[in-house]
């Protein structure tokens, strides 16, 4: 007969800890395998009206009962073409759009839609000189504004810089939010895409479009151990519903992937990452040269301290290339995505963005 050992308080606490950990692990797997859908996560919560459609593209205007009529210059937000637009309107309390509306701005947004196999022949030039040109024109027509403010995020920042160089008379203010312009740096993406060991054309020929899953794998690889870090972040947030909802909202957006239209990707890699034609003044768009020196409007370049996708030198190069007298650089603590929609964005980025735009959005 085995001797009886009474359960000591220490052993009781250990058993309790084991039970809590096991229950937490079950909960982790439940959330990981069956995350909530977009509706439960309250994604893209700010009411908006679709003003214009162009193929799959939508031009949104956000409802603003608090609009300040003294701000006569509308603001067009241009997201990246490889991620969904709602990163700038992610969730309640984490929406740059809602913040700008509360401060009186007339906010518009480009929703690029979701590219499919049929979009593989859309070119880089199409996005700038056809799609974006029509969208900017529609904002100007609907508002009666001769010029508008334009904010581009990530690849959207690159697009808007090129657009402003081609059509400087249409843009009152340009905000480049973490958009790479100079591709001569030593960032990992620049290193990985060097022509001697990266053939974008072969990927396009094989897949038609650059697959979203393949790009996401590359972005994950920029940060060693990123998958483990994300798993640990989920574990830490299981006890708080609000923190868990915020985490899952951002993860949903990251996994709501889009393909990069094939011919657009081909030129993007060749002419920018590999030949760096824009800062050299040699980038051709629809038969015209995009000369950054033609830009004279006020410029705000925004960089993140821990940006692995668009390191600061690639972004601030815009200020050195333009002819604007009014040009500023804002460095925000955080990463490429966190500065836009992270929990600290309300304190670190949005107020400074609004403060810069406000005095430049009146009569011009």
The phi and psi torsions of 104 (rounded to 5 degrees) equal: 95, 0
Q: What is the SS3 string spanning the chain?
A: CCCCCCCCHHHHHHHHHHHHHHHHHHHHHHHHHCCCCHHHHCCCCCCEEEEEEECCEEEEEECCCCCCCCCCCCEEEECCCCCCHHHHHCECCECHHHHHHHCCCCEEEEECCCCCHHHCCCCHHHHHHHHHHHHHHHHHHHHCCCCEEEEEECHHHHHHHHHHHHCHHHEEEEEEECCCCCCCCCCHHHHHCCCCCCCHHHHHHHHCCECHHHHHHHHHHCCCCHHHHHHHHHHHCCCCHHHHHHHHHHHHHHHCCCCECHHHHHHHHHHHHHCCCCCCCCCEECCEECCHHHCCCCEEEEEECCCCCCCHHHHHHHHHHCCCCCEEEEEECCCCCHHHHCCCHHHHCHHHHHHHHHHHCCCC
Q: What are the angstrom distances between the C-alpha of 56 and each of 59, 68, 80?
A: 10, 31, 15
User: What gap in Å lies between CA 315 and CA 322, rounded to an integer?
Assistant: 13
Q: How many CB atoms lie within 10 A of CB 212?
A: 18
Annotation says 154 is catalytic: yes
Q: Supply angle C-alpha 54, 252, 160, rounded to 5.
A: 40
Q: How many CB atoms lie within 10 A of CB 43?
A: 20
Convert 81-96 to b/e letters by CB count within 10 Å (16 or more is b): bbbbbbbbbbbeebbb
Write down the catalytic residue from 154, 269, 337, 339: 154
Active site residues: 154
């Amino acid at each position: 007969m085995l001797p009886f050992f009474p359960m000591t308080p220490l052993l009781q606490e250990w058993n309790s800890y084991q039970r809590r950990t096991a229950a937490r692990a079950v909960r982790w797997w439940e959330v990981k395998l069956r995350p909530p859908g977009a509706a439960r996560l309250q994604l893209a919560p700010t009411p908006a009206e679709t003003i214009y459609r162009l193929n799959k593209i939508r031009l949104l205007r956000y409802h603003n009962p608090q609009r300040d009529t003294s701000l006569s210059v509308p603001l067009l937000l241009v997201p990246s073409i490889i991620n969904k637009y709602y990163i700038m309107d992610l969730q309640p309390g984490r929406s740059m759009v809602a913040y700008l509306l509360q401060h009186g701005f007339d906010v518009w947004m480009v929703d690029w839609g979701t590219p499919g196999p049929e979009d593989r022949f859309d070119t880089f030039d199409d996005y700038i000189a056809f799609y974006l040109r029509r969208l900017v024109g529609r904002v100007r027509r609907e508002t009666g504004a001769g010029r508008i403010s334009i904010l581009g995020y990530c690849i959207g920042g690159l697009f808007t810089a090129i657009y402003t160089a081609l059509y400087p008379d249409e843009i009152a203010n340009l905000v480049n939010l973490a958009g790479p312009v100079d591709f001569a740096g030593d960032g990992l993406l620049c290193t990985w895409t060097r022509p001697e060991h990266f053939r974008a054309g072969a990927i396009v020929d094989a897949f038609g479009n650059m697959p979203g899953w393949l790009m996401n794998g590359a972005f994950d690889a920029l940060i060693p151990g990123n998958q483990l870090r994300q798993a640990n972040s989920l574990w830490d947030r299981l006890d708080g519903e609000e923190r868990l909802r915020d985490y899952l909202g951002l993860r949903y957006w990251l996994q709501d992937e889009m393909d990069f239209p094939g011919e657009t990707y081909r030129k993007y890699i060749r002419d920018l990452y590999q030949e760096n034609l824009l800062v050299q003044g040699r980038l051709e768009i629809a038969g015209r040269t995009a000369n950054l020196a033609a830009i004279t409007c006020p410029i705000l370049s925004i960089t993140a301290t821990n940006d692995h996708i668009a390191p600061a030198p690639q972004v601030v190069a815009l200020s050195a290339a333009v002819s604007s007298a009014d040009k500023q650089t804002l460095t925000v603590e955080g990463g490429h995505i966190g500065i836009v929609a992270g929990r600290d964005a309300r304190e670190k980025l949005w107020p400074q963005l609004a403060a810069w735009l406000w005095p430049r959005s009146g009569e011009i």
